[in-house]
Amino acid sequence: MSSELAVVVLAAGKGTRMKSDLPKVLHPVAGRPMVDWVLAAAEALDPREIVVVVGPGMDSVAEAVAPHRTAVQAEQLGTADAVAAAREALAGALDAGADVLVLYGDGPLIEPETLRRMAAARAEGRGDYVWLGFRPEDPTGYGRLQLDEAGAVTRIVEEKDASEEERRIGLCWGGLLLARGPALFAQLPRISNDNAKGEYYLTDLVALGAAAGERSVVVECSAEEVRGVNSRAELAEAEALIQGRLRRAAMDGGATLTDPASVFLCWDTRLGRDVTIGPNVCFGPGAVVEDGVEIRAFSHLEGCRIASGAVVGPFARLRPGAELGEGARVGNFVEVKAATLGPGAKVNHLSYVGDATVGAKANLGAGTITCNYDGYRKSRTEIGAEAFIGSNTALVAPVVVGRGAIVGAGSTIAEDVPDEGLAVTRAEQTIRPLAARRFREKRAAEKKKG
- Per CB under 6 A, residues contacting ligand UD1 are 10-13, 53, 73, 76-79, 81-82, 104-106, 142-143, 156, 158, 172-175, 201-203, 228
Cα 309 from Cα 235, distance rounded (Å): 36
Distance in Å, CB of 12 to ligand UD1, minimum: 3
Compute and round to an integer the Cα radius of gyration of the chain.
31
309, 326 in Cβ contact below 8 A?
yes
Beta-bridge mates of residue 354 = 337
Q: Which is nearer to ligand UD1, 153 or 350 (CB)?
A: 153
Q: Which is nearer to ligand UD1, 73 or 348 (CB)?
A: 73
Per-residue CA distances from 307 to 268, 324, 358 (Å): 17, 6, 15
Torsion angle, alpha carbons of 336, 337, 342, 343, to 10: 50
Angle between helical axes of 112-123 and 34-43 (0-180°, round to 10): 40
Residue 262 three-state SS: helix
Residue 203 three-state SS: helix
47, 2 in Cβ contact below 8 A?
yes
Q: Which is nearer to ligand UD1, 197 or 440 (CB)?
A: 197
Distance in Å, CB of 2 to ligand UD1, minimum: 24
Cα 57 from Cα 59, distance rounded (Å): 5
Amino acid identity at 399: V
Q: Which is nearer to ligand UD1, 174 or 384 (CB)?
A: 174
Least Cα distance to 407 among 435, 386, 377, 434 occurs for 386
Amino acid identity at 314: P
Q: For this structure, is 68 an active site residue? A: no
Distance in Å, CB of 232 to ligand UD1, minimum: 16
Q: Which is nearer to ligand UD1, 202 or 356 (CB)?
A: 202
Distance in Å, CB of 139 to ligand UD1, minimum: 9
Distance in Å, CB of 44 to ligand UD1, minimum: 20
Cα 422 from Cα 405, distance rounded (Å): 6
Cα 308 from Cα 312, distance rounded (Å): 11
Q: Which is nearer to ligand UD1, 174 or 181 (CB)?
A: 174
Distance in Å, CB of 131 to ligand UD1, minimum: 9
Strand pairing class (28-29; 32-33): antiparallel
Distance in Å, CB of 52 to ligand UD1, minimum: 10
Cα 211 to the center of its chain, rounded Å: 44
Per-residue CA distances from 437 to 120, 318, 431, 444, 448 (Å): 90, 47, 13, 11, 17
Q: Which is nearer to ligand UD1, 81 or 323 (CB)?
A: 81
Distance in Å, CB of 136 to ligand UD1, minimum: 9
- Catalytic member of 27, 68, 300, 349: 349
For the chain, the distance separating the N- and C-terminal CA atoms, rounded to the nearest angstrom, is 91
Q: Which is nearer to ligand UD1, 4 or 161 (CB)?
A: 161
Q: What are phi and psi of 215, to 5 degrees?
A: -105, 135
Residue 427 three-state SS: coil
Which residues participate in catalysis according to the annotation?
Answer: 349
